[in-house]
Structure 1
Amino acid sequence: MADTQKYTVSRTINAPVDKVWDVLSNPERHKEFDSSGRVRADEKSNRIQATGDVFTMNMEGPNGAYKTDNHVVGFNEHKLIAWATAPTGQEPQGWQWVWELNSVDAGSTDVSLTYDWSGVEEEAMKKFNPPLLEEKELEDSLANLAAAVE
């Protein structure tokens, strides 16, 4: 479902919640489910363990290589993980990625992914013209995540 400032997509993945969580909470594995083609590698491989953690990703875009700091803004083990993205060394500019997990049974997990740009300030809106991804790319991320764990 799409509205004007966020997309949310969902999928049931045929894997237990702890296996899905293992991939999402490990920045070293984020390239596996990235559908944008921008994530190249994790800069430091600390597992995400709490709100307030920051992980840095090496990225590649149309203008070349860059890094992002991802500030963990939501964390509930095996249920929710969310981060706000910023250029390295800067505060988040209003983009958030929210992953919600719901264990259906011992072998499957409902996963929802929300890409929310409602907090992007006017100056950044003019510069970047969000959304930076289409809803289909989020669906592809869920398919990539399923491939990584199924």
Structure 2
Amino acid sequence: MHTVDQENVSATLTVAAPAARVFAVLADPTTHAAIDGTGWVQEAVDRAPLTEVGQIFRMHMYHPNHPDGDYQVANQIHALDPPRNIGWLTGQEKDDGHLEFGGWLWRYDLAPLGPSETEVTLTYDWSAVPQSIREYIQFPPFGPEHLTNSLHHLAELAAPTS
């Protein structure tokens, strides 16, 4: 199930894993390429676990419509409450080392449904994107099914191994 509001899109899925396990997968940048439903996320540059608001983690990306094809994003944690939620703003590092964010963010909200099930809601929010960026990027830049795909990938990664 997914919903599209004016400025954000979200999807919800029940995952057969405890919230702490799901959160651990999300807090590990090396899993993000496997979670990604778009195929744009390639590999984590910063591989340390995500542990605090303000933390920066970079990812190698690829998009056929990007001027360079291969590029890098710098994400900054803006929400972190284990095992309830985790979210980040996506931006890029300028030549002078300054980080610039586009105004869109990703957020996962986890609600335990018992010891071995978690309801996970993934939200992509672009309400803070300035008009200058909206003139050349269409939001959302993917269909809502990408969020659902990501949640299914997350469910597979978090599933208990037997």
* TM-score, normalised via structure 2 length: 0.90
Counterpart contact for 1:5–1:116, Cα < 8 Å:
yes
Task: Detail structure 1 runs of 4+ shifted over 6 Å in the superposition.
Answer: none
Q: Secondary structure at the match of 1:96?
A: strand
> Partners in 2 of 1:134 and 1:117 — Cα distance?
14
Give the unaligned 5+ runs of structure 1: none
- Tell which structure's C-alpha radius of gyration is larger: 2
Aligned AA (2:84): K
Which residue is 2:124 aligned to? 115
> Secondary structure of 1:94's match?
strand
Q: Which has the higher helix share?
A: 1
CA RMSD of aligned residues (A): 0.9
Check if 1:98 corresponds to 2:107: yes
Structure 2, unaligned runs of 5 or more: none
TM-score (norm 1): 0.96
Identity over aligned pairs, percent: 29
Post-superposition shift, 1:88? 2.8
Q: Give how far 1:133 is off.
A: 1.7
| Alignment pair present for 1:34 and 2:36 | yes
Q: 5 Å matches for 1:1-150? A: 1-62=3-64, 63=66, 64-89=69-94, 90-150=99-159
Structure 1 contact 39–60 (Cα < 8 Å) conserved? yes
Cα contact 2:104–2:129 (8 A) shared by 1: yes
